[in-house]
Structure formats: structure tokens, C-alpha cells
Amino acid sequence: MCTIHAVTLGLVPSGGDGVDVALVSERTGPNPNPNTNAGFSRFRGIARPVGNPTVGFTPDVYGFSEAWTHNTRGSVVVRAQSHPARRGTTGPFSASAWTLHAQDATGAWSTPSRVFSAQRGTEVDTPAAGALMLPQLMPVGEAMPQVFGCAGERSDDGAVRTTWLIEALVGNSTLGTPTPPTIDFIQDLLSGDDRFLPNAPGPLRGPANPPSPRITDRPGLPIRDGSVQCAMTQLQDDVRTRELHMLAVHNGVLYHSMANNFSNAVSNAGAGSPLPRFNTVSTWGDVGSALGGGFGRILDAVIVARPRAVHVFFVAQTGNSFKLWHAVRFSANGGSWRPVDDVLQLNAGHPAGAGFPFRIAAGLCPQQEDPQNTELVYTMWADPQDVIWSGRVVSTSREWLPGMQGTYSPIFDLSRLMGRNANPAQRSTINRMEIGTRPFRDDARAP
């Protein structure tokens, strides 16, 4: 099934924050009229586990993402959640943290992983800031499946927030009693080895020297810390084709960097064990310039992986017009960008662009008419306009409506599926959306 994840931030009459609710809408199969109907169900609350398992009294969720894979006992879903956390040891729950859970083919959920955070310990995180720390889960491989993620954590020396590449390891647990994922921290994607801490304290004291070959000054300026988006590509089980693509918007410019050459470094400068990681990282490149320029100020973007390409949707502002653009970067021949598409012109939505800013989410889903193949599904949303639009991008041109031919579907209005409160004092706003897939419902069995 195809899923739309949404996290809403409730506003209470006093003007403070209400409950931050995690919701899901599902598209379970073929639709009587897939050309003109999105086929998604009304949004409902996600099944437990919900929120920070160490808090207990609040179901608040700042962001959540899911990925599924398989092992010898069947399908396994990994769920990542970012949620409130205590500031310090006795402070209020105004910080943020994240955890992972696993769900097996019976629908049973595991206990949580350890709690991780990019917090220094004394900082205050808004729901939007907490959502940025959420692990973005990325499954690759077929016969040898793996689930990676880009997650918010502190740099090795603890100086800044950064984005780490992690692997979520899911064991072959007995059906009905799944074990929680264990997390392997692979590398700091923004600091490289520049913030390596010699002889790091802990139960297993850290090495005195950084790995070799050393990664330094990559991807470099303008983004050296914080959170970036990620997508991992890989052709079947060929690790030689594995690439990690990073995307970020900074001061109205869209940047891209790629990591490849996933191979063994040597820990502790030759005296330690092999350390598999990406050993080549490119500097940040200006995507708008690579696509020919003239897009105006970039406001939001999302990246989606296929086996040997990445799709990038980005929202750009020129004057009072806001457009959605779609570009594709192929892995062959050192990486090349396909000419960009003006989505709102091709989907018969707003050919001249929308008159208000909006945000974008996108992901791969089973094709509505042919679930063995995939299609791109995207959503656009805006507050306080109460707008939630969705569209499909298929591989082969088709006739959607009389006189409308192409790979972009008509735009679908999903606003009615959210059930927004008409009272402005009790309204909820959408903090985050994601598109994904699932082999079974998250509430298939009570926890």
C-alpha cells in the first residue's frame, strides 16, 4: 500500500502548543477511476507505539518515517519517530529526541531502541526543529536487504548538530516478538573526520586517530552542520553502485552533494578493524545553476531515490508566483540532470504558478493500476490556506482526461481527508508530510 504520513501541530485557544498528532492515509489498491481519483483514505491516528517511550504521559510526535524490508521470517517495518524529550535530567519536556521500533508480519511491535538526540541538553526545540532530527529511512538491496538512515545527532566532538549516516539492524526475531532495531553510526556526513574526537570516552574507549583514508572538508561550505535530506540509490545488491545523495536549501539556493565509493576505511589509522563507509564525498553543487537557472528563490525541496537515479521536487518563488519543479539526476556518466519540468503547468493545476507558498513531499509507491510497478506520488500543502493537493507521475505517457496527455496526472484535492477544525482558535497546522509504502497496516495487531 501507498501511505501519506502527516504530523499536525494542534493550536489551543490560549495560543500555546497542543498535541502534535501523527496521522496516516492509505491507498490500498486499484481504484474504480484511478485517472480522476487519488484513492487515499481519510487520515487516522497511527497505531501505537506513539511518542517518546520514556515520557509516557504524552503522545506528541514531531515527525515519523517508515521503511520496510524482509528477512527469513517475513516482512519487517522500521518506524522512526522524533518526539519531545526532557531538557537536562530534571527540566521540562521542551527538547527533542528520536527512537526506532520494528513491526513484524503478524503486526506485533517491538520495544523501542535507545533514545538518541542532537540536543546539547539545554536547548529548546520547536516541533519543526524536532522534526528535522528525524531519521530518514532508506532501504536498499534485494537478496541482502539493509535499512540505512540519515539522522540528527551531535558531532563527534559534541560541538554542533549534524547529520549522521546510520544503519538500522533488524534481527530475525520469532514472529510475534520482534526485537528492537539496533543502530550502527557509520559516519558524520557534514563534518567528515574534521570533528573527530581522539580517545573519546565511553565503555569502549574511542581510537586515538581518525579512520584512514581521512575525509576532510567535505561537503564543505555553505552547509557544515544541521540537518540535510538524504536518498540512497543502489542497483539490486551491487554495493559498488551505492550512492548517497544529500539535498539542502540554504538562503534560497538548492544544493546537492553525493557520497559514493562505499568501501572499507581502516579505523585507528591502520591499527584497527575495517570500517565500511562512503569514502568519497563531493562538494555542494548549486542545483538551480546546473538546471539552467532562472528559478528565483528556492523555498522547499524533497529528494526521492530510484535504483540509478534521484528525483528532486522543489518549490521556487518568482515575484508573487510559486511554482513546483521536477528534475531527475542519473547516475550514469558521472551524473547528469534531465531538463526540468514545470509541474503545475503539466498537471493542469496552476499554469502560471500558485499565488501562495506551499511545501512539498514525495515518494515512490506501487502504481495504482499495476502494483508490481512503481510511480511517484507527491503532495503539496499550505497553511493557513487549508490546501492539500496530490499528484502522480508515471513512467509511460497516458491520457488522463480528454485532451490531457502525459506522465503527470491531474491534481487531486485531499484537503477533505484531513478533517481540519473550522475554528481558527482550535486549528491544527501540518508540521511535516512524507510519502511511503507498507506491506500491511500499522494497526494490524494491537501492541
Confidence of residue 9 (pLDDT cuts 50, 70, 90): confident
pLDDT for position 19: 63
Higher local confidence (pLDDT), 204 or 261:
261
**What is the Cα–Cα distance from 400 to 413, expressed in whole angstroms?**
16
* Residue 76 contacts residue 70 (beta carbons within 8 Å): yes
Cα 342 from chain centroid?
Answer: 23
Mean pLDDT along residues 311-326: 96
HEC string of 298-332 equals EEEEEEEEECCEEEEEEEEEECCEEEEEEEEEECH
What is the pLDDT at residue 270?
53
E strand intervals along 223-308: 229-233, 243-250, 253-266, 274-281, 285-286, 297-306
In this structure, of 65-69, 207-211, 280-284, 323-327, the range with the lowest mean pLDDT score is 207-211
Kindly indicate the confidence band of residue 421, based on its pLDDT and cuts at 50, 70 and 90.
Answer: low
Residue 42: predicted pLDDT: 92
The verdict on whether omega for the bond into residue 145 sits within 30 degrees of 0, i.e. cis, is no
Helix (H) or strand (E) holding 128: helix 127-132
> How far is residue 390's CA from residue 345's CA, in Å, rounded to a whole number?
14
The average pLDDT across 417-435 equals: 73
Per-residue DSSP letter, 384: T
What grid cell was written down for 47? 497505531
Going edge to edge, which strands form the sheet with 182-188? 136-140, 146-154, 161-169, 182-188
Q: Which of 54 and 304 is assigned the larger pLDDT?
A: 304
Predicted confidence band at 284 (pLDDT cuts at 50, 70, 90)?
Answer: very high
What pLDDT was estimated at residue 15?
Answer: 39
What DSSP element (H or E) covers 11? strand 2-11
The string of DSSP codes covering 195-212 is T--TT--SSSPPPSS--B
* Residue that has been written with the C-alpha cell 536518498 in this structure: 231
Greatest mean pLDDT range, 43-57, 166-180, 318-332, 428-442: 318-332
DSSP 116: B
- Alpha-carbon distance 253 to 48, whole Å? 39
pLDDT at 295: 95
Q: Is the pLDDT of residue 195 over 60?
A: yes
Highest mean pLDDT among 85-89, 149-153, 195-199: 149-153
Rounded CA-CA distance 367/226 in Å is: 35
- The cell for 232 is 540512497
Cα–Cα distance between 394 and 410 in angstroms, integer?
12
Instruction: Pull the grid cell for residue 413.
Output: 484535492
pLDDT at 57: 59
Q: What is the pLDDT of residue 205?
A: 66
Residue 12's pLDDT band (cuts 50, 70, 90): very low
Q: C-alpha cell of 327?
A: 528534475
Work out whether the CA dihedral 186, 188, 193, 196 comes out positive or negative.
Answer: negative
Q: Which residue would you say has higher pLDDT here, 416 or 313?
A: 313
Q: Is the dihedral of CA 235, 240, 241, 244 positive or negative?
A: positive
Q: What is the pLDDT of residue 447?
A: 46
Residue 199: CB atoms within 10 A of its CB come to: 9
Q: What is the pLDDT of residue 393?
A: 96
Give the pLDDT confidence of 138-189 residue by residue, as tens digits: 999 999 999 999 999 999 999 999 999 999 998 766 677 788 899 999 999 9
Lowest mean pLDDT among 6-20, 22-36, 100-114, 389-403: 6-20
With 80 as the cut, is the pLDDT of residue 235 above it?
yes
Most confident among 123-127, 256-260, 346-350 (mean pLDDT)? 256-260
C-alpha grid cell, residue 384: 493557513
Stretch 59-83: mean pLDDT: 89
pLDDT attached to residue 215: 94
Task: Give the tens place of pLDDT for each residue, 108-120.
Answer: 999 999 999 998 8
